Structure 1
Amino acid sequence: MEDLINSNLLSCFLAVMKHRRLTVAADELCITQPALSKSIQRLEEKLEVQLFDRRQDGMAPTKYALTLARHAYVIRAESDAARAELGILRGGGSGTLAIGIAPLWTVYGLPTAVARLVKQRAQLQVRIVSGVLSTLIPPLLKGDLDVVCTALDFPAQAEIVRKPILTSDHILLAHRRHPLAQLKSVSLAQLAEHRFVGLVGDYHGMERMQRFFALRGHQPPVVRAEATSIEMILSLLATGEFVASLARQWLKRGEPLGLVKIPIRGTFWKFETGIVHRVNPRDPALIEQFERALRAENEGVEHP
């Protein structure tokens, strides 16, 4: 068998693995279908195995193709990473980093970590996207985001790595003139009678709150207003009409608006939060540097 496959054959193979149809794969690669078919045949000849069964409904991968695919994805990822790292060295600290952040990180560590990072890399371009777990993980898996800062208590996925940085918990916030803020202790039954506000798409957070109430034999409160912006959540709380479950770190930001912690027994949610990235990131060196900057901002910080 000849030595390693060239990158063009590898790209052809991965395109067919992805689409399972020669016409679609050829369109993606901007080559003709006969040229793609010839490349696959050439690859099979090099490896001395049959990679696909040709069927009327498409290309069915054989056990040899499935084995090759595992290695091919790693080869491509390592090649992309090497190219990116060499580009950084050549460009004197350039590159791009797309970061997805859950609400907690808006006020806790991330801004100063990003400032530290761009100071270290003079030409680095950073893009920050706010969201919740359900809106951040899919673009991470697609490659639209390089890293996500979020709560880590979601089901494990083979494609991503989770790295805890700190522990936090959720508390209830409302304006100081809200009826519940006047009480020394608030029961779950009392909470259920009041209007809540939450983030659009925050199914994970809502599930946690519903479970908290259900395990204690109570109906959960109803979310009467939703917003995509955490700042809008704080503004709605400032009207005195709503209650929200937010990470403890938001209390300090809300105090100038008159927001206070509602006294309840226990917490809806205590969780580890940190960074999540793909197993084979586009730029491993940059992800590692970002992680170090973020950890440096949280060294010696007391957590709940």
Structure 2
Amino acid sequence: MTFDLRQLTAFTTIVATGSLGRSADALHVTQPALSRTIKRLEEQVGAPLFERHSKGMQLTAIGKALLPHATLLLREAQHAAEEIDAMRGLVKGTIRVGAVGSIASMVLPLAIGEVLKKHPTLQVQVIEGVWDRLTDALITHEVDLALGMAVADTEEICAISDCRWEDTSYVVAAADHPLRQKKNLSLIDTLSQPWALPPQGTGPYEQMQQVFHDHGLPMPNSAVETRSVMVLKSLVTRSGFLSWMPAPMFEVDRKAQLITALEIEGATGTRTLTAFRRRHGILPGPAVRLLEELRVLTVTK
């Protein structure tokens, strides 16, 4: 079955807006014209894609099955156009990248800044999240590069071996936290304090768990679990929580004397970070430009 990209664009736009009228406005066509486009796609598929209601349009089971394929086909078409433009010397398109919090806080902004200085016609879309979110985004073509902790390759994604660097994580607290007054501070002293941490199963949590295990200690009770870097920082600075963060994530806060590492001997964890791509297919030209800058920035990290 051969699909018309204009029909798929109409289909995904209606899904995104939930309304024929809003979709027609977004696509700059009339509602009757948009209805005819969807009807032709439904005739090709051989089944209705939407259930029409007074409050909008909802996907049928067939529509739900078509959606991920339509999204992928449209993204691949856009990637192909960007790659052809790059080969013709027309540097334009969109860099789609996902990153864990520490990379999104330091290395990625520097790389983006350098890319846009050289190629100001490019645009950038960034997703920040934990690794499972980034893996899904990479597989579904929502992003073309995913930056995170080095893990084993899979059948669908693989690490880019010449783009690797390290960072170190610490127990962090607000600059005025009472523990800073204690002499000979040890890791065991932190167990009685309120903690805010990423959820269990995430890379930072497992790294911290290993540090506590190496000291013969259980993990502290986590009063708050969140994937939000902003929430973690706010709990540390405003509510007296302890947390576990890689240095790049709180570098700006350290310079502002808001968050700093507690001086606890041996309470650090180092990890290797890298860039990942889909194992199959061509890396789009805009993503290649970002990767080039990441290599330069991380070679000495």
TM-score, scaled to structure 2: 0.67
Look up the equivalent residue of 2:274 and give its one-letter code: G
In 2: Cα distance, 1:30 partner to 1:221 partner: 58
* 1:222-275: CA deviation from partner (whole Å, max 9, x where unpaired): 221234432332222112511111012234312214322112222443111121
Deviation at 1:109, TM superposition (A): 2.3
Aligned position for 1:43? none
Contact 1:174 1:243 in 2 (8 A): yes
The change in CA–CA distance for 1:179 and 1:119 in structure 2 (over 3 A counts) is same
* Distance in 2 between residues matched to 1:134 and 1:101, nearest whole Å: 11
CA drift of 1:138 comes to 1.5
Match of 2:158 in 1: 161
After TM superposition, give the deviation of residue 207 of structure 1 in Å: 2.1
Corresponding residue number in structure 2 for 1:233? 232
How far apart in 2 are the matches of 1:28 and 1:115? 44
**What is the rounded CA distance, in whole Å, between the counterparts of 2:85 and 2:229 in structure 1?**
36
Q: Supply the AA of the counterpart residue of 1:100.
A: G
2: CA distance, partners of 1:83 / 1:90? 11
Matches of 2:78 and 2:279 in 1, distance apart?
13
Count of equivalent residues:
234
Find the aligned partners of 2:297 and 2:209 in 1 and give their Cα distance.
33
What's the secondary structure of 1:239's corresponding residue? helix
**How many Å separate the matches in 2 of 1:216 and 1:272?**
22
Letter in 1 for 2:159: R
CA distance in 1, matches of 2:188, 2:195: 14
Unaligned runs of 5+ in 2: 3-40, 48-74
Partner of 1:108 in structure 2?
Answer: 106
**Quick check: 1:101–1:148 contact (8 Å CA) kept in 2?**
yes
For 1:36-55, what per-residue CA distance to the aligned partner results, in whole angstroms no more than 9, with x for missing partners? xxxxxxxxxxxxxxxxxxxx
Partner of 2:138: 140
1:278 aligned partner: 278
SS of the residue aligned with 1:269?
A: strand
Q: Which moved more, 1:103-112 or 1:81-90?
A: 81-90
Q: Computing the radius of gyration over CA atoms, which structure comes out larger, 1 or 2?
A: 1
Find the residue that maps to 1:218 and give its secondary structure.
coil
Change (3 A) 1:258 1:79: closer
- Partners of 2:43 and 2:263 in 1: how far apart? 60
Q: How far does residue 165 in structure 1 lie from its aligned partner after superposition?
A: 2.5
CA shift, 1:101, in A, is 1.2
CA RMSD of aligned residues (A): 3.2
State the shift of 1:121 in Å: 3.0
Amino acid at match of 1:262: L
Output the CA distance in 1 between the equivalents of 2:42 and 2:214.
Answer: 51
Instruction: Among all aligned residue pairs of Structure 1 and Structure 2, give the percentage whose two residues are the same amino acid.
Output: 21
Task: Tell me, yes or no, if the aligned pair for 1:178 and 1:240 is still in contact at 8 Å.
Answer: no
What amino acid maps onto 2:99 in structure 1? Answer: I
Counterpart position of 2:218 = 219
